[in-house]
A and B are shown apart, each in its own frame.
Chain A
Amino acid sequence: MSGFGGFLVRRGIGTVITLLAISVIVYVVFYATPGNVAQITCGPRCSPEQVHQVAQQLRLDDPLYVRYWHFLEGLVAGQDYSTGTSVEHCPAPCLGLSYQTDRQVMDIILTKLPVSLSLVLGAMVLWLVLGVGTGVLSAWRRGRFTERLLTALTLAGWATPVFVIGLVLMIVVCGELQLLPFPQYVKLTDDPEQWAWNLLLPWLSLALIEAAAFARLTRASMLETLAEDHIRTFRAYGVAERAIVGRHALRGALAPVIALNANNVGSAIGGAVLTETLFGLPGIGQELVHAVNVVDLPVVVGMVLVIGFFVVLANAVADVLYAVADRRVVLT
């Protein structure tokens, strides 16, 4: 077990280093253009003096490494901001204040996070069930009509961009057939039923493309496992094909599925940005697109870092799960 503990520690340190490196890259890249930011924050009709004043207020004149150090300090210890009349305290994981609204970036993210988590986690359940189910079914029914149909559907799902699926679903289901109202976010704590109904289409449009990826992988992985010797032994002992596929082969085939699921968190969040924008869900993605359009750098940097944090964390968790699921994996 000490080997496993050591592995966890090493992986943890690696994760922290990766996150730090990402924060440096993101910070430097985004704050390398200072004059611009002051001008945009101030508005198009600002005089040069006003722009200069804004730049000073935002500390844009400090050297980049000083500002990054401040940023790190805020992240670890919190920071105080003077907003003219009063001093505002921004507690420990402080990502700074929005240029546009003076709100704390962490606050903005925390209010938007439940929406995005509702979307991504709900869709994840859907894509895992749909994807793994489809993959198992087409591996079991290989060579038959069912498999051909599923393969064609999978390819179609794979080839349709998220926003096209979303657009078509919205137009057909909400516009033409009027089966569902156009989605509006309802809090889970307010009304769980409405929450689910309103998220159904966003879940579907995000899940279909990911489900296709999982179906492809599960099918390939299942076929490989089904060809292994121990499965042949099961067959020889007369174990029912249903039990072989559903129990024994599936277990062996799941390791790559777990790995892909964690690795896909990044692309799923990318898909979530599109889905939120398309359906008007007030999540992190929509806020990011807004912040990008008004060049609200603290919000952009904060969100990229938080999303990066989730992705890196998911990758680390995947490695651990992968090691647990498949004992043959050597821990390094």
Chain B
Amino acid sequence: MSEALVATQVPEVSASGTSGALRFWRRLRTQRAALVAASVVALLVLIALAAPLLTALENQDPTTYHPSLVDSARGGVPIGSLGGIGADHWLGVEPQTGRDLFARLVYGARVSLGVALAATVIQVFLGVVIGIASAIGAGWVDQLLSRITDIFVAMPLMIMSLALLAIVPSSFPRPVLVTLVIGFIAWGNIAKIVRAQTLTLKGLDYVSAARLSGWGTWRIARRELLPGLAAPVITYAAILMPVNISVEAALSFLGVGVKPPTPSWGQMLTAADVWYQAAPQYLLLPAGALFVTVLALTVLGDGVRTALDPRAASRLRVGTGSKREAGAAGKDAGTGVRAGEKGAGAGAKEGSA
């Protein structure tokens, strides 16, 4: 019975699923900047996942104090050249505490990416559920949910999370708390986008057809609406990721986010400005890590948007990339039109090959 079910379902799923992903990948592949960014992101994820492995290789851990490696007579400056860089400590040690910087940096990647990803998942989930419910609920349901959404859009994320993080007892695991706070505050915009898109889809013939043939609301939402929402949702999620990274770093920088001994890039920067002369890498490493991560995610997000934008897609197929179409593709704030134009040329080649 179940085998028969699988047999009937597999071709359908794989046909639509794979070809969609494949098309997306083909379009993404034509954008050099996005590819580079994707590789950087992949590398960062790998580093974050392999943090225990990497630190084991170095034979250090992020929390052990090494008082013997800092010069307490000079206020805790790391002993040795370049802030104590050497075979034992690949990137030197932290001033005052002597904790290993490399270990803190790679474990910091875990916190940064983990918190941002989990928060994005929460935001997307809430946004999609509330957006769809609002659009297909109509009437007072829509009124209520739209009002709630408006309220959450109006809440300044940094301020609210700053305040919320202060009142929760410190026994609650901080990274989880930061994730929840970011995730549950900043879902309003994605809900608005999903609602608008769902309203458009709802009016289309194939959805009306599904309704007329007696499909339930849940089934229509899942089978007919969700696939149409994938592009804008993925695009917006790709924008949210770097924003969430910055917010987590900012909160930790202010001392209310991830707290020691758990390492976080933002938190590493808090103390760093006093030490920039004695141990410049203490400042430069977390700052650089944040910069590279946010940059890579942003460029990747632009690439994803260009690859998913149906107008950009039509340009790819036509392969002309005229000014008019290039302009139209740039409608949503800052689409990588440049990358898109480049992609158009390459895409045409791809198509004819």
Residues of A within 8 A of B (CB): 14, 17-18, 21-22, 25-26, 29-30, 33, 36, 147-148, 151, 155-156, 158-164, 167-168, 170-171, 175, 213, 216-217, 219-221, 223-228, 256, 260, 266-267, 269-271, 273-274, 277, 288-289, 292-293, 295, 297, 300-301, 303-304, 307-308, 311-312, 315
Which B253-303 residues have a C-beta within 8 angstroms of A? 253-256, 266, 269, 272-273, 276, 283, 287, 290-291, 294-295, 298-299
Q: Are B151 and A159 neighbours in the complex by a CB distance under 8 Å?
A: no
Contacts of A163 in B (CB 8 A): 249-250, 253, 266, 269
Measured CA separation A210–B155 after assembly (Å): 18
- Are B162 and A289 in contact (CB-based, < 8 A)? yes
Instruction: Write 11 A-B pairs (CB below 8 A) sorted by A numbering.
Output: A22-B151, A155-B295, A160-B294, A163-B250, A163-B269, A164-B287, A220-B334, A221-B330, A223-B323, A227-B324, A288-B159
- Residues of A close to B330: CB separation below 8 A: 219-221, 223-224
Selected contact of A295 from candidates B159, B167, B266, B324, CB within 8 Å = B167
Measured CB to CB, the closest approach of chain A to B45, in angstroms, equals: 18
Output the nearest chain A residue to B288 by Cβ-Cβ distance: A164
Min CB gap A305→B, angstroms: 10
B326 near A260: Cβ-Cβ < 8 Å: no
Q: Judging by beta carbons under 8 Å apart, are A227 and B331 in contact?
A: no
Identify B269's interface contact among A33, A158, A167, CB under 8 A: A167
Task: Tell whether, in the assembled complex, residue A266 and residue B157 are in contact, meaning their CB atoms are under 8 Å apart.
Answer: yes
Q: Is the CB of B160 within 8 A of A21?
A: no
Chain B residues in 8 Å Cβ range of A148? 338
Chain A CB within 8 A of B62 CB: no
In the bound complex, residues from chain A placing their C-beta under 8 Å from that of B242 are 159
In the complex, the 7 A-B pairs of residues with the closest C-beta atoms, listed nearest first: A270-B158, A216-B334, A227-B327, A159-B295, A292-B166, A220-B330, A266-B156
Docked CA distance A217–B337 (Å)? 11
Residues of chain B with a CB closer than 8 A to A301's CB: 163
Which has the most chain B C-beta neighbours within 10 Å: A226, A271, A304? A304
Q: Are A33 and B167 neighbours in the complex by a CB distance under 8 Å?
A: yes
Check B147–A269 contact: CB distance below 8 A: no
Task: Name the one of B156, B269, B298 contacting A164, with C-beta atoms under 8 angstroms.
Answer: B269
Chain B residue nearest to A229 in the complex (CB): B324
Let me know if B333 and A256 touch, CB within 8 A: yes
Across the interface, A220 reaches (CB within 8 A) one of B255, B256, B333, namely B333
Give, as a whole number of angstroms, the nearest-CB distance from B302 to chain A.
9
Bound: A315/B253 CA distance, A: 28
A151 to B327, CA, bound (A): 16
Asked whether A308 lies within 8 Å of B155 as measured between CB atoms, the reply is yes
Interface residue? B332 (CB, 8 A): yes
Shortest B257–chain A CB gap in Å is: 12
Instruction: Assess whether B150 is interfacial by the CB under 8 Å rule.
Output: yes
B335 within 8 A of A: yes
A6–B324 Cα gap in the complex (Å)? 38
Which listed residue, A21, A36, A288, touches B163 by the CB 8 Å rule? Answer: A288
B22 located at the interface, meaning its Cβ lies under 8 Å from any Cβ of chain A in the complex: no
